[in-house]
Amino acid sequence: MADSNKPNPETCDNNCSSCPSGATCPSAGGKLPPKANIDAKHTILVLSGKGGVGKSTVAVNLAYALSNHGKNVGLLDLDIHGPNVPKMLGIEDHKLLADQNKIVPVKVTGTLQVVSMAFLLPEKHSPVIWRGAMKSGAIKQFLEDTEWGSLDYLVVDLPPGTGDEALTIAQLAPNVRGAVIVTTPQEVSTLDSTKAITFVEQLNLKVIGVIENMSGFICPHCGESVDLFGKGGGERIAKEHNVPFLGSLPLDPEVRKAGDEGRPFIIRQKDSLTWKAVDNVMEQLVKIVET
C-alpha cells in the first residue's frame, strides 16, 4: 500500500506551500517559505476537526495557565472568520496599535498578550470574507510584523478543520512543539478529530495530547453528571493513535458564563469539580510542553 504521507509524483502540482507533505517532502527543496523571524521558544497549536467543541476555551485557559507559571505567552487567534478569544478575555473593545510599522499586541496581563482578527474589524459583527491567499498573508503579518518581544510560548488558536490556516502556521511558525486536539465524546466529533490527528502526524509534528470536552453535563441543582454526548470518545481515539490523553472536561454552565463574562475559567471557582478537572488538564499540558 502506498504511503499516504508522501505526495504522488504523477499528481504533484509543485505547489509545496499548500501541500500537507510540503514540510517534509524531499522534492520541495527551497520552495517552502522560510520560518517567521520571531523570538518564540515553543509554539503550541490548538485545533479540532469540528467546530463547537470548545477549542478556543482550551486555548485561552492554556495560555492563561502558562502565564500563571511565570511564562511570557503570546496568544494568536487565527480563527479569522470567527475570532472569539478577545471576547473570552474581556478585551473585545480593544484595537491593535502600531509602533514603527510593527503591530502591538493587546496586553491581558504582564505576561500574556493577544493578537486577533477581531481587533481589526470595523464592527464586532463585521464578517471577514477572504480567500486562502489573503488569510495566509494575514497570518504571516501576525507572526512577523508583530512586536511580540521574547516569548516562552506562542499558543495558536486555529479554526476547526485542516485548512489553509493550520497548514500555513505549521509551515511559518518557529519551534512548533506540536498540537493539542480538542474533541467532544460523540462519534460525529471523534471522526473529524481523527482526521486532525492524522493531519498533524503527516506534517511530522507531535500530537501533544487529546482533550475530551463536554464529557458529561454537570447539573447546576444537584451536581450530578449526565452523559449528554456520550463518554470516552476522546480517550478511545488517543489510544488508537498512541498519543497522550490529557483528560475529560465536563459541560458546565459556569464555563460558558466565564467565557461570556470575559474571564478565563481557570481563575474562577477553585472549589468546583469542573475547576479541578480543568486545572488537572492544564497542569498535564504544562508538564508535557515544559519537558
User: Which residues participate in the annotated binding site?
Assistant: 49-56
* Residues that constitute the known binding site for ATP: 49-56
From CA 266, how far away is CA 183, in angstroms rounded? 19
Q: Roughly how many angstroms between the first and final C-alpha of the chain, as a whole number?
A: 36
Neighbours of 205 (CB within 10 A): 18
45: β partners: 156, 179
Torsion of Cα atoms, 94 then 65 then 259 then 143, to 10°? 40
CA 131 to chain CA mean position, Å: 21
Angle of helix 164-172 relative to helix 132-144, nearest 10 degrees, comes to 30
From CA 255, how far away is CA 251, in angstroms rounded? 8
Q: Are the C-beta atoms of 165 and 159 separated by less than 8 Å?
A: yes
| Long-range contacts formed by 217-225: CB under 8 A, 24+ apart | 217/250, 217/251, 217/252, 218/250, 218/251, 218/252, 218/253, 218/273, 218/274, 220/253, 223/273, 225/250
